[in-house]
Amino acid sequence: MTQATTRRTTAAKPSSRPKAKPAAAPESRRQVGVLIIGSGFAGLGAAIRLAKDGRDDFLVIERGSEVGGTWRDNTYPGAACDVPSHLYSYSYEPNPDWSRSFSPQWEIQDYLRRTAEKYDVLDKHLFDTEVTSAQWDAEAEQWLVETTAGGFAADVVVAAIGALCEPALPDIKGIETFQGEVFHSSRWNHDSDLTGKRVAVIGTGASAIQIVPAVADQVAQLDVYQRTAPWVMPRRDRAYSKPEKLVYKHIPGAQRLAREAIYWGREALVVGFAYRPKILLGAQRVAERHIRRQITDDDLREAVTPNWQIGCKRILISNDWYPTLVKDHVELVTDGIAEIRENAIVTRDGAVREVDAIVVATGFHVTDSPGWEAIKGADGRSLGQVWREEGQQAYKGAAVAGFPNMLFVVGPNTGLGHSSMIYMIESHVNYLASALDEMDEHGLATFEVRADKQRAYNDDLQEHMKQTIWMTGGCASWYLDSHGKNTTLWPSFTFAFRRLTRKFDLAAYRTTARADRPAASLTLVEEGVA
Ligand code: N01
């Protein structure tokens, strides 16, 4: 999908994107059964499942030059996962060789590369290819997909685009006039040597708290611009010993047991996040103690202490964030940014801080991704327009009314604040696989979720959402859309989502039969639709 752009950021070099080809004539389109957009954990997981199920007629379109998605793109110093590795991996592909409890980025990227090779799906990928538009053709009952490598006609489209892929660049006055280097955390410019430079980092989210400690000792001056203080817990990270790895490799079930223990430990947190937010106050005490132990200066302690309840935004983990902020050449700046000049950042109090480079760690377009504009449904409206007008929502996070034969892996309200997204991805992959089986079994040409089913599902979900910490904790976060609704997170236990998506529920969908299918064979399906 289209890339967010701004002048002078490495996220924005137009030359790095292949040029779009003109729309293909229908006869020159390549026909494909299932077209998967994106090859991060989600798209790759979908491809592997289709291959395992003996389906051959699928293709993955990936704009990057290899698999990995967010783990390919986020190469900033210090990048690592904050979910334990034994859980943050495919269930069918355990890795006994994880080096630590929280793996670094490069290790996860290696894991994804190896897994793609092992399951032999790389020749089903078109890399360095961007989807420029996808339009539902009601007559042909197919998606007409334009890409930078030509046109495709697909029976089913799988949107595995990911929520954290379009950098959100801050709209700060004068940012385009800055003469030094500017780059987004997820588009780290490795040609830029920060050694001995005066560097500013804008943002104090999950990315910034990894970047700041990793670059601090390299630079001459580090200004950290904080808009909202995050809650930070101790990071219980350690290297796995050789004997541990041997146990995981050679003792059947040992690694699965470790994974299960991590899973259920994390799942217990849902009680606090989604049902009884007061329980999280215990965690808040631990985070407060973390501040007291690592910072002695009262003013700095106050500046880093959030004024909202823990859990409302993502809980961060770090042992070196606060110790970095107390270093002499590091300054936490809490006055808002008024403007950026050729060589400096000016804050609202009038202070001018000269800098040589700016790292923009300001997050992603999650609820307003520009990618949604390129997908046009049955009535010609783009997904972006539909979601702006009606709110971002999908049935079971997977299907959107008006967008037949398209499934998300993973879509609205499937994100997690406490556990591994790979679990949610595998749940959605089950749903996708079941949908394709149902299409085969009943000879279906199309399926489209019923608007009333989608509405009822989301009304129910949002009703439950009201009691969660994300709505009651007193913060603003990227979990919420412009209407103030939480359209990103799953508000319950992940095993409940697994149950919900185990089987494709045809009764919630309108369907049409394939032209070659005898009408009698459709009876069952028609009965299923209430
Ligand atoms: O982005 P964020 P991120 N002027 O949106 C600030 C995942 N992740 O890239 O809080 C000044 O969390 C903004 O301030 P505020 C993880 O799911 C995982 O860090 O909005 N500041 C905030 O401090 C995470 O949640 C890992 O007031 C501005 C920061 O920028 C998600 O990615 C590692 C601003 C943005 O924080 C995103 O994390 C990294 C402006 N105009 C990321 N606009 C793992 O470990 C925004 N900010 C797995």
Residue at 3 is within a domain: no
Report the residue among 362, 366, 367, 478 best suited for mutation to probe ligand 1: largest number of ligand atoms under 8 A from its CB.
362
Q: How many domains is the chain built from?
A: 2
Same domain, 217 and 350: yes
Q: Is the pLDDT of residue 398 over 50?
A: yes
Does the beta carbon of 170 sit less than 6 angstroms from any atom of ligand 1? yes
Same domain, 218 and 305: yes
Q: Give percent above pLDDT 90 in the chain.
A: 87
d(CA 19, CA 370): 18
CA of 362 to the centre of ligand 1 (A): 5
Could you tell me the distance, in angstroms and rounded to a whole number, from the CA of residue 318 to the centre of ligand 1? Answer: 15
| Per-residue pLDDT at 369 | 85
Please check whether residue 68 lies inside any domain of the structure: yes
Kindly report which listed range (118-127, 347-356, 366-375) carries the lowest average pLDDT score. Answer: 366-375
Show the 3-state SS of 227-244. Answer: CCCCCEECCCCCECCHHH
Q: Which position has the higher pLDDT, 57 or 520?
A: 57
Is any ligand 1 atom within 6 A of the Cβ of residue 209?
A: no
Which CATH number fits the domain that encloses residue 311?
3.50.50.60
Same domain, 188 and 53: no
pLDDT at position 166 is: 87
Token pair, residue 499, equals 């149950």
> Cβ distance 489 to 417 under 8 Å?
yes
Kindly state whether residues 306 and 184 are assigned to the same domain: yes
CA Rg value for the chain = 24
Q: Is 82 in the pocket of ligand 1 (CB under 6 A)?
A: yes
pLDDT at 520 over 50: no
Rounded to whole angstroms, how far apart are CA atoms 475 and 306?
A: 9
**Encoded tokens for 272:** 């606090």
Compute, in degrees rounded to 10, the torsion defined by CA atoms 365, 367, 369, 370. -120
65-116 pLDDT tens trace: 999 999 999 999 999 999 999 999 999 999 999 999 999 999 999 999 999 9
pLDDT reported for residue 397: 98
Cα distances (angstroms) measured from residue 289 to each of 50, 73, 209, 296, 309 = 48, 34, 18, 12, 15
Tell me: do 97 and 115 sit in the same domain: yes
User: In a mutational test of the pocket of ligand 1, which residue from 227, 304, 308 has the highest number of ligand atoms less than 8 Å from its CB?
Assistant: 227
Question: Cβ atoms within 10 A of the Cβ of 325, count?
Answer: 24
Question: From the CB of 227, is ligand 1 less than 6 Å away?
Answer: yes
Which residue has tokens 């965690």?
Answer: 283
Residue 328 lies in a domain: yes
* Pair (354, 373) in one structural domain: no
Q: Is residue 475 part of a domain?
A: yes
CA 92 – CA 103 distance, rounded (Å): 18
- Any domain includes 282: yes
Both 356 and 370 in a single domain?
Answer: no
Cα-to-centroid distance, 117 and ligand 1 (Å): 32
Let me know whether 188 and 208 are in one domain. yes
Quote the ligand 1 centre to 344 CA distance (angstroms): 22
Among 207, 210, 420, 478, residue to substitute to test ligand 1 (most atoms within 8 Å of Cβ): 207
Domain of residue 339 covers: 175-236+261-360
- Residue 70, ligand 1, Cβ within 6 A: no
